[in-house]
Amino acid sequence: MNQKKISTTSKQTHLIAVAIIAASVLTAAVMINGISFNQNIPKAMAQNIYPSGNNTAAKVSEYNKTAVKSSTNTTALSIPSASTSGVIVKSVSTNQSTNKEFWINTVHLDGMTSIHPGMKCDTCAQNTPTHPAEQPPVNSTIPTGGGFRVTDPNKIGAWDFRSFTFSPDQIVVNQGDKVTLHFVGVQGAHHVISVEGVDTFELARGQIHTISFIAKNPGTLVYLCHVHMPNMVGQILVLPKAAV
């Protein structure tokens, strides 16, 4: 009786061992096939895009030519993209006009403060209640000429440091351009402005004075205010004409 039970148990153990071995072999086969399949995917895609042989170089060459096509008046920009298309090409037309127009404002920069700490001043934008006390310079190092100005403290102790300038103070044109400048009197009661080799004129607040000229020679032209030197100065940069 015991021998029969032992024999039956031995057969069951043998069958279980065989089943485990078969399952392990099957799992390993599936994994190997999966790896092979995954490795073949990019290979197949590469073959579809660039077939083997000399056609690969031709494909790349044709692709590059398409990406950089441009005409005389068009600039081609190749921008990398994350999409499968690879490159997005945008065309930008350049401005061929030789007429250049600028509006130049007379302005000043103000540093407003007070001799009292935390003194509220309705006309002093920078004098907030937490502003520290500041005294006007005893021995000023600013140059003479009217371009800089220090005002004395008023009845509540507020004072100001001012610097006159043009906005913009530099413009760029090309040789041969027709340049039109509109000078606008925004800040400063009175200006006497010169544009080198072109004109000298007076300008008051609220007025606009317009001048035009041809930028014949490459180099730099200066425009300045005689009343607010040495800092109220601007430059016109004339770039040389490109060789044909």
CA nearest to 99, candidates 178, 17, 32: 178
**Which pTM value belongs to this model?**
0.58
Calpha distance 90→66 (Å, rounded)? 12
Calpha distance 92→15 (Å, rounded)? 77
Calpha distance 17→29 (Å, rounded)? 19
Other beta carbons within 10 angstroms of residue 159's beta carbon come to: 20
Give the mean pLDDT per block of 10 residues along the chain (244 residues).
49 60 58 49 44 45 43 44 68 77 97 79 55 84 92 88 96 96 97 97 98 96 97 97 76
The C-alpha angle 3, 4, 6, rounded to 5 degrees, equals 65
Amino acid code (one letter) for 241: K
Question: Exposure of 154 by Cβ count < 10 A (0-12 exposed, 13-18 middle, 19+ buried)?
Answer: middle
Amino acid code (one letter) for 15: L
Specify the pLDDT at position 225: 98
Specify the pLDDT at position 223: 98
Specify the pLDDT at position 75: 44
Backbone angles phi, psi at 76, to 5 degrees: -100, 130
Q: Where are the beta strands (DSSP E) in 28-157?
A: 74-80, 87-93, 99-114, 148-150
Amino acid code (one letter) for 244: V
Specify the pLDDT at position 190: 97
